[in-house]
Amino acid sequence: MILGTGIDIIEVERVAAHIGRGNGFTEKVFSKAEISFCESKANKHEHYAVRFAAKEAFLKATGKGLLAGHDLYEIEVIQDELGRPGIKLHGNFYDQAVKNNWNRIHVSLSHVKAMACAVVIIEQ
């Protein structure tokens, strides 16, 4: 049963500007693994932006938004061996997933030079 659906779209330049300020934004929002992945890419800001969009889409899909939590680095966008995206939850978000029976999380990501978007579906 589908519990929630979320979608988000963001301008890549907006995320690049936040990262460029060097104020800890990157570490507050992204896991160490996500940072390592994005930094290894030639178009790293697109990869950061699409992960940010996925986190926002996930929060919308929970139906709680930011009330679900502010530690966005605990929402980790991962890829399986085929490159298919997924979400791995840590800390408070993991606890909520167990409590609320968020058993499957589906993710679709897309990005181009200027825009990034993500769709998240949470199933019971």
In sequence order, which residues have a C-beta less than 8 Å from that of residue 12 and are 6 or more positions away?
A: 45, 46, 49, 111, 113, 114, 115, 116
Catalytic annotation on 111? yes
- Binding site members for Mg(2+): 8, 56
Nearest to 6 by CA among 49, 64, 91: 64
Q: Which residues are annotated as a binding site?
A: 8, 56
Which residue of the set 55, 106, 111, 113 is catalytic? 111
Catalytic residue among 45, 60, 99, 113: 60
Write phi, then psi, for 122 (nearest 5 degrees).
-105, 130
Catalytic residue list: 60, 111
